[in-house]
């Protein structure tokens, strides 16, 4: 496609991938606002690079372009296959609509709502690495720095928010409509939120949660970008719904973990207790939900648009709430990405292939950073070299 070829020849695109920062992020955000028709293609192209886990600029310009062209060909082949599948599915849908055309209004509304919910996530600005701590954005638009690395918010008290068990923010009376709050947790931080229904949410580093001051209506809905562990208060009449850019998780009362970082190719939902259903946003009203049992994971692939259900140790998937990371035969690049998020650092690869090796072990982020790096070096046969306080190289 012409747009992919233009990106390949644009040095700012590769800088955006390999050296992201406030200035280059702002430039591309402005470009996407001016050219919204190109946003989906550009973000998907960038996402394929990020999925490789290479945060280094050691590749030559020729190697970068060659890699980009292979990704471009793969995307074009996938789009061609998807268009064919959509044509076949479209014929089936038209036949179904012919039989139940009196439901067409509700189908259209659901389709439009799905598209609206998805577009809200593409409009998010990237979480700045310059943030010194978690920030709460109130419905009126004013920002409240939470100051503590591990902050807490409590919405269970009428008309007020309790911050870090010490300060209080007054909110609108319960008789008024409840607008949305936005909690942004940058790298190197974590937060715990107790929502108005007493549901508890642990938000991991590099994450964002959008939620109302109090729940009203037939569902309890929140939007997530990043990773969070939920302990949902049971209410059979009012289901709890977690919306991400690509999937929705619906529950009535349970414990589960959702990982939906925008730079990750996989969106993973792990069920610890109870039951959940996972719905893919692009599957429409005729799509089939995936039902999970405890110690199962639904893994949605952004590239193939497929969802796989796999057995897992759910307890291990939630250890991050205690500052721990357990991994079994996991790619090194995914372990290093967790380190980058937790410590707010960047790890540069002397050789990109290092990120592809698979390792097993357990990290305790409550220990000193150098001690964590020393342990990881032993289990992976690698060496970490400190460049400065925010940059390391791995060999």
On whether both 199 and 259 belong to a single domain, the answer is yes
State the DSSP code for 218.
Answer: S
d(CA 111, CA 116): 9
pLDDT value for 125: 59
Answer yes or no: is 386 within a domain.
yes
On whether both 35 and 155 belong to a single domain, the answer is no
Q: What CATH number has the domain bearing residue 377?
A: 3.55.50.30
On whether both 273 and 337 belong to a single domain, the answer is no
Residue 85, domain extent: 1-99
On whether both 308 and 329 belong to a single domain, the answer is no
Residues 6+ apart with CB under 8 A from 313: 295, 326
Is the whole model's pTM more than 0.85, yes or no? no
On whether both 235 and 352 belong to a single domain, the answer is no
Of 298, 317, 336, the residue that ends a domain is 317
On whether both 312 and 336 belong to a single domain, the answer is no
Which residue in this structure is represented by tokens 């097993």? 360
Answer yes or no: is 73 within a domain.
yes
> How remote is the C-alpha of 221 from its chain's centroid?
16
Which residue in this structure is represented by tokens 């342990």? 375
Q: Provide the token pair at 156.
A: 């269970």
On whether both 267 and 346 belong to a single domain, the answer is no
pLDDT value for 173: 63
Number of domain units in the chain:
3
Of 45, 77, 99, the residue that ends a domain is 99
Spans in the chain with pLDDT lower than 50: 54-58, 84, 87-89, 91-92, 94-123, 175
State the DSSP code for 217.
Answer: S
Answer yes or no: is 353 within a domain.
yes
On whether both 303 and 166 belong to a single domain, the answer is yes
Of 317, 334, 366, the residue that ends a domain is 317
Strands (E), 264-345: 266-273, 276-280, 290-292, 296-301, 307-311, 324-331
For the purposes of burial, counting CB atoms within 10 Å of the CB of 285, is it exposed (0-12), middle (13-18) or buried (19 or more)?
Answer: middle
Strands 190-194 and 150-154: parallel
Which of helix, strand or coil describes residue 255? strand
pLDDT value for 147: 77
pLDDT value for 49: 66
d(CA 106, CA 101): 10
Q: At what angle do helices 22-34 and 11-18 cross, to 10 degrees?
A: 130
Answer yes or no: is 168 within a domain.
yes
Answer yes or no: is 356 within a domain.
yes
CA angle 342, 271, 336 (to 5 degrees): 25
Q: What CATH number has the domain bearing residue 281?
A: 2.60.120.1440
Q: Provide the token pair at 270.
A: 């792990």
pLDDT value for 232: 96
Answer yes or no: is 123 within a domain.
no
Q: Provide the token pair at 363.
A: 């990290």
d(CA 325, CA 338): 8
Q: Provide the token pair at 276.
A: 């959940």
First-to-last alpha carbon distance for the chain, in angstroms, is 36
pLDDT value for 43: 83
Q: Provide the token pair at 152.
A: 């807490």
On whether both 275 and 151 belong to a single domain, the answer is yes
On whether both 171 and 296 belong to a single domain, the answer is yes
Q: Provide the token pair at 292.
A: 């999970």
Which of helix, strand or coil describes residue 173? coil
On whether both 52 and 159 belong to a single domain, the answer is no
For the purposes of burial, counting CB atoms within 10 Å of the CB of 134, is it exposed (0-12), middle (13-18) or buried (19 or more)?
Answer: buried
Query: Measuring CA to CA, how many Å separate 73 from each of 38, 43, 63, 371?
Result: 18, 16, 15, 43
Handedness of CA 18, 19, 21, 23 (dihedral sign): negative
State the DSSP code for 11.
Answer: H
Answer yes or no: is 115 within a domain.
no
Edge-to-edge strands of the sheet including 346-349?
A: 346-349, 391-394, 384-388
pLDDT value for 1: 54
What are the phi and psi torsion angles at 169 (to 5°)? -115, 125
Residues 6+ apart with CB under 8 A from 249: 241, 242, 256, 258, 269, 276, 277, 278, 279
On whether both 207 and 72 belong to a single domain, the answer is no
Q: Provide the token pair at 101.
A: 């055309």
Answer yes or no: is 112 within a domain.
no
């Amino acid at each position: 496609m012409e747009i992919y070829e233009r990106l390949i020849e644009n040095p700012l695109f590769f800088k955006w991938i390999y050296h992201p920062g406030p200035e280059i992020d702002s430039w591309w955000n402005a470009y996407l606002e001016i050219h919204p028709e190109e946003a989906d293609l550009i973000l998907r192209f960038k996402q394929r690079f990020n999925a490789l886990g290479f945060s280094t600029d050691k590749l030559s310009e020729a190697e970068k372009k060659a890699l980009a062209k292979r990704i471009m060909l793969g995307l074009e082949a996938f789009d061609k296959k998807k268009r064919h599948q959509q044509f076949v599915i479209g014929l089936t849908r038209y036949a179904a609509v012919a039989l139940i055309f009196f439901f067409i209004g509700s189908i259209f509304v659901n389709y439009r709502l799905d598209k609206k919910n998805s577009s809200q996530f593409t409009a998010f600005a990237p979480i700045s690495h310059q943030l010194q701590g978690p920030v709460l954005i109130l419905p009126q638009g004013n920002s409240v720095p939470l100051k503590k690395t591990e902050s807490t918010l409590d919405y269970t008290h009428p008309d007020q928010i309790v911050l870090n068990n010490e300060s209080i923010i007054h909110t609108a009376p319960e008789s008024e409509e409840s607008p949305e709050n936005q909690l942004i947790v940058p790298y190197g931080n974590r937060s715990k939120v107790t929502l108005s229904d007493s549901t508890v949410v642990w938000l991991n580093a590099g994450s964002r949660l959008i939620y109302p001051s109090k729940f009203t209506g037939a569902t309890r809905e929140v939007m997530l970008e990043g990773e969070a562990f939920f302990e949902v208060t049971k209410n059979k009449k009012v289901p709890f719904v977690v919306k991400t850019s690509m999937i929705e998780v619906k529950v009535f009362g349970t414990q589960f973990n959702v990982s939906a970082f925008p730079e990750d190719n996989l969106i993973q939902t792990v069920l610890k207790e109870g039951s959940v259903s996972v719905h893919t946003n692009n599957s429409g009203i005729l799509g089939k939900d995936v039902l999970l049992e405890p110690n199962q994971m639904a893994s949605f692939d952004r590239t193939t648009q497929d969802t796989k259900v796999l057995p897992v140790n759910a307890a291990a998937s939630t250890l991050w709430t205690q500052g721990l990371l357990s991994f079994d035969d996991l790619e090194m690049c995914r372990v290093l990405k967790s380190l980058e998020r937790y410590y707010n650092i960047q790890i540069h690869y002397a050789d990109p292939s290092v990120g592809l090796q698979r390792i097993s072990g357990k990290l305790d982020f409550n220990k000193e950073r150098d001690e964590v790096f020393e342990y990881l070096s032993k289990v992976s046969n690698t060496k970490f070299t400190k460049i400065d306080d925010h940059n390391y190289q791995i060999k």
